[in-house]
Structure 1
Amino acid sequence: MKPYLAALGIGLLVGALYSLLGTRSPAPPAVALLGLLGMLLGEQAVPLAKRVIHGQEVASFWKTTCAERVTGIPPEPDEKP
């Protein structure tokens, strides 16, 4: 139940933001797709920021975890001779 309430709350915030920006809802396809891309990237920003704050390596985390979640394409296996 909690994820549904969170989704509803976030939806209300986004709807209010759309209204403030003068964008109709549902948004035109290009606006909606860019919004979805922003959501995917924003979702990955928190784990990346945590890694940076803790001084952990970021490049391979982006390549193996974030990029797969954003693009939906699994990383290629490492080639070993």
Structure 2
Amino acid sequence: MSMGSMGFMGSMVLALAAGIVIGVIFQSLKIPSPAPPFLGLLGLAGMFLGQRLIPWIQQLLNNK
């Protein structure tokens, strides 16, 4: 199944499920989190914004 056919909501559910599974594994094995929670969330937010930035700029330039 390609990302296009799964849709945005499907990929969000898949990402959440993967995060929960990894969190359960880390907790079960007593492995500390690889990054402080705040920095991890900030990094994810940056990745999300960066991923959305290029299409937004392309759309902005194409509309002129």
Give the TM-score category using the shorter length.
0.3 to 0.5
In terms of fraction of residues, the more helix-rich structure is 2
**Greater relative contact order, per chain length (Cα 8 Å cut-off, separation 6+):** 1
Normalization by structure 1: what TM-score?
0.36
